[in-house]
Structures are given as C-alpha cells and as structure tokens.
Chain A
C-alpha cells in the first residue's frame, strides 16, 4: 500500500501519537480545568504543554494566545465570523479552500464586502493586486499559505507587509504548511494563523486551532460559541480572558495528547528538514510525471519552492477513473476531484472535472514515488492501447 493522501490527513503517524492517546484514556481520563484533583491537573498539563509546543513551533511568546478548535475549518470560522462585520471589506485569493470561501460567502449575504483577487493559472498571486484592492473599509486579508490543490506557496511575506502598512489584520490558513514548512509569524507580519492537527503536525483528527498575534484585540474577536469553561463559574456571562473566552465545553484531551506527541516529532526533526525532504520527493514526482506522454501536471514550474502536493490529469481519462485504477491495480491511495476547492480548480482550469492529487509526508519514500510514477505511466499507456 502507498499512501499519497497526506494533504487530507497524514498517515501513518509517529508511533507515540497513538500510544499517548491510549495512555490518556486508560490512565488519565479526567476533564482539564474543571476540578482540582490530580487527574484533572494531569489532563490540564497535557493541554497546556500542547499549547507550549505550538508556541515554540510558531514562535509565539504567550501560549495562551493559542486557541484550540476542532480543526482548521472551525479556526477559520472563528476568525472570519468573529472579526468581520457588515460594511467591512475582506480581501482573499481565487485559490482558497471552501473553509474560507463558504464562511465568506455566508458573511457576504450579511453585508460583508468580499474581494477575491484572481491568481494566474499557475497559482501565482501578485501582491500588487492585493494592494490595489485595499479600500477605506478593508479590515482583513485572508490567504492560504500553501495550496491544497497544486502545492504552490502564496506570497504571505509580501502581503503581510501590505496588511501592516494599511493597518489591516492578516489571517493565514496554514492547514497545508504548519509542521512541514518554516513559518515566521513576526517577521512575516502574520496576525492570525489557522492550523489543523491532523495533517503535517501528525496529530489525530479533531485537533486544530487559531493563533492570535499581538495585534489581535480580544474584544474585537467575537467567540463562535459560549458555555462552560471551568472559570468564573459564578457568572452566567462568557469570560473575557484567554483562552477561556473562545474555548467553551470539554476539550478534545485525547486528541491533544496525540497532537502533543506529533508536535514533539516535528520539533525534533524541524520544519526546515521536513520540508527539504518532502521537496525532494516532490521534485522527483513532478519530473517523473512530466516525462509520461499524455500527463498534464498543474501549477508552476517544478523547481520553485513549494509543498508536497501535486495535481495532475491523464489526457482523455477522468480523474475518478484514474484514482480507482491507482487503488485497485496498484494499491495507491490518493484523492481525486475538486478537493473542496472549486475556486482553485476554476483558477487552474480544471473545473468541474478536477484532478488527481498526490500528497506526500515525511513517511513517504523515494521508492514509493518511483512506484507511483510507474503506475501512472502504465495507466496512461494501457488506456491509449485500449482505445487504439
């Protein structure tokens, strides 16, 4: 079996991830932040230490400015719905995932102005176009860092500078880059980071969060939900301090136990090293795919810096058919179709058919890449002959 669907959920995970989750269930179990007993404190420490590891990874001074959510979708919803009000303008790109596009379209109906900056068919975003879109009522710029469809990187450093120059907040969706690409919150002027635990951070599904940079004012970010926090229990009003204001209800302690170990793995290796290895895998894959007659690889040139996500099609074959044959004949797991990103597929010209997507992680090998290339080559060749 070859797993090439890491952009959806990474698999396998480092061994300790599952072990820590089982340990939590069997030996700790309790609710964090609710009671003063030993087990509750142990649970609380695990949640807190996960925050500390994330603070280390993202270079955040105060771990309490990291809010846990169910996944990156919830983090993006919290940021977008919490910050934007009717009459505000928000700037985004045509390469976004529906986790950004759908909340924005919902907000648009409530009177938020949504400006979508078109990217080139190669996925390039010109920062000058972002600058031109800034208006008096602009509040926020939201961009994904690495595309979940074609794997290119958006110019967050340049856009961060624009957002700072114009006094806007900058929200970055790091679903595909957190853990496998170096990030510098401060240098790149990023105000909010929405991340998920279950991709390159090697945590389980059900973990994610939102990092609040120092420029984000708590009173201006409305919580998505309210409820029990274990704090200020005498009051029926939501607390106004971090992280409780945004974290109501019992958290996913089992999941966070796993994420903590995933983060330990990432911090030990280092995002730079992980990226370096994945980049090599990706270069090899792209070169191999491009050599196959009838295969179209989408996105920019292969030697540009990028993440380990590659979209392609075989001429005259439906992505769904290619995906089925990859699994049935070669035991290769990948993802076909639109990848929850209709805007991105319209941008690269593959809407509504979509593409076949291979996405790698630290745990893939060069041998697997070579086998995948050979499989695609066989599928492309045999199809032609069949028609002949």
Chain B
C-alpha cells in the first residue's frame, strides 16, 4: 500500500519519518547521555554497584521515590473521591450557569500552574482567610507547605478533570435506563448498584490512572510548595541535584530512575484505562427521579457550591492581588516586556515543534493498517514516559559541552514544551484526520484534487478547529511553563514564569501577583487567538 512516488516521498514520507524518528532519537540520545553521566567509567570497575540500584541505597532517594508515589496516590484518591458527588450533582441538575461552571472547570488546564499556586497561597496560606477558619475551628496548624499543600494544589488541578470524565460517564448512561429505573421504582441505592456502579467500574480506574500519572510528574507544584527534603519528588530531586548540589551524576541517576518509573506507570495505566469518548457535550441533566427530595437537592446544591468556592476563590484571589500588584507597584516594564517576549517566542517555537511532529504522525497513523498502526503510538509513548525535566537534563548534558547554556535554555524549553503537547494534539488531530479520509478520501481521489488543493479546500477547513485547539493548548502550556526553564533558564534572560518565580524567591509577592496576572492574560490570549482565531466561524 505504501508505494510512494517521488513526489509523495517529499510531501509525505520524509515528514512522517522525521516525526516518527525525531522524538524517539531525542529520548534515546537523552537516555544515553544520562547513562554515560550516571556511570562515568564503566571500565572494569564493577564496585559501583549494579546500576540503577546503587542509587537506591541513598535513603534520601528512596524517600523521594516513596514520596512521589505516595503523594500521587493520595492526590488521585482525593480527586476521584471528591469528583464522585460533584459529578453526580452536576449530572442530576440542570440550572442556570451550569455551562459557565463547566467552562470554569476547563480553566485549570490553561491557567499557568505557578499562578494557580499564587492564588492558593493567597487563600490557604497562613495569612489567608481559610487558615484562620481552619485553625479557629481547632483543626490544628494547617500549613500550605509540604504534603498538605501539594495535595491541595493537585486536587485543585485534577478535581475538575476527574469530574468532567465522570460527568461524561453519567451522561452516557442511556436515558431509557433512567426511565426504566423510575418505572420500577428503584431507590437511590438500587440505582447506584444497578446503573451507576457499572459505569463507575468502567471509568474510575482510568480517572485514577490519569490523575496519578499527572501528579507523579508534576513539577511546579512541588517546587513551589514542597517543604524541603520532607516533600521532595524525584522530579524535584533532579532539579535540586543540578541547581543546589551541582551533582550532575546524581541528577542523571535520578532522571534515569524517573523515566523507568514513568514507563512503568504509563504501561500500567494503559492496561487499566480505556478510551472514552472525548466529546464535550456536558450539558443537560439525566432524567432521574430518585434525587428530587429537598434533602437531595440541597445536598447537591451544597456540593456544587463548595466545589465552586474551592475552585473559584484562588482564581479570584490571584486576580484581585494581581490587579493590586499591577496598579500599586512600580512595575519593571523593562524586565517584564522582554520576559513576555521570550515566553511568546518559546510558545511559538513549541507550536512549531508540536505541529511538525503531530501532523505527520497523525497522517502516518491513518495510512497504516493493522499492527503497524500501533507502532505509530511509539513516539507519543516515548514522550509520555520521559518527563521534561529528565529529558531536559539528558539533552543538557549532551549539548552542554558544545553550546553555552545561555543559548540552550530557550530553544530547549520550546522543544520540550512542544513535545509535551504532542500526545494531546494527537488525540485531537488524529480522529479528525481519520474522519476526513473515511468520509472524503475517495471523493478527493475521484475529483483528482492535487495535494495542495485538497489541503486548501478540504483538510484545512475541516481541521482548523482541532489544529487551532491543539495550538492554543500548546501555546498556553508553553507560556505558563516553569519546568525546563527553571532548570536552565538564564537569570538575566528569564521567561515570564521564571521572572515571576524569581520575584517569589526574593519574596516580592505583590509584584509576583502582578506578573501572575499578566502571565495569565498572555496565556489565555494566545489560547483564544489560536483556538477561536484559527477555528474561524463554525461552518460545519
């Protein structure tokens, strides 16, 4: 089937080969560099202990591993458990403003992590309103630093995600089942057993796995809220080994370990997670008769209100303090503007990387059949298992001898952010491209459209929406990124999030809130520019 003419080779074959091989080569090269740094002289001396087990003798490393897993498990359990009543309440009720609430649930995905943390600090920090309430009620001395703060932030980010997936599950239950339940006079218990539990049994493992994986590799949250060695994840330990100890060998060992761990986690989650419809039709309510009592209604109302307060309050606080910061303090425009420009440049670079990898990969996957099709998932998988800090550490070690780090930081950030976005983009672009081939492939052939004509007349109009959304997500994630840039970014040429982090480090909190508001505005503006601007007017 893949007999390619010369022209097709250049138009299709070479980009596809590049998109397929580049991520794999990058990950392998990075692994090789980490290996060579972690095991400096392999010549004969085996006394170093079997790698990677030597590093496990270090009690601190062992604790970092167990803390990574423990906080991820707790975050996943909490997010999933809290999402259950919330998703049920949202599924049972239809009310004014529900769509607004559901779009608010999408906000944490675009919101720069560091800004959300500023918001959480303002609400839950020792001087914030919640702290007084909690200690006033006698619940001990709650601290936002350490495990409790990390869990708080992870739930803040993942509760909406978990809730959306579960809500889809509720809405996917056929209405006939609800009518049947009403007809048979089933109570809440019976409905839970016979209708809700079978759906949840399908979805809960997947929700848990996604949240667990996200939290096991979350960096910024732990960087900002992790309180010292007690609350250190592997990812943070890599950062600290480079920035604090200047121990590249330990960093390499940890990075290797992190990749192994992620590969294991990704494999496990592939086994338990199933593909669910990603359709975003979250409106409407299920026609159930059992939850119409006043008690049930007020319970659902309370759940939704509490969740809303929990999610909206930090955003509001970050906004208000950000406005105050922007208005009241002398902003260093000369530093803010170049930082913003750097962030934008990095974001555009990420978008280019994302596009150059995702589009040919999506195309490749629809052209292949059977078992070879699964092969195309390999680059995406490689990206998933190599978290940016670990991958960045490897690439840095590889390139550092040849190029000064100052010149590496921004391109590396753009590259890694772009790669991070590829799995998301493939989910959005792949199905759209496949559908075009299924629906219109023969038509295009029969009409004899040239490749460029087909792109102009068919592919682009039909794919600008998923492409726009992918670019929007990539740009927003990249603009808000505080991962690789924290590791290598130059203090003289920071991106906007790094600049903000420097301000936090110097405890110039008011300015940090101001920068945070600017950062959020830029991230959302670019998200909208790509998502709405490229998607254009809805024509389908």
Partners in one complex: no
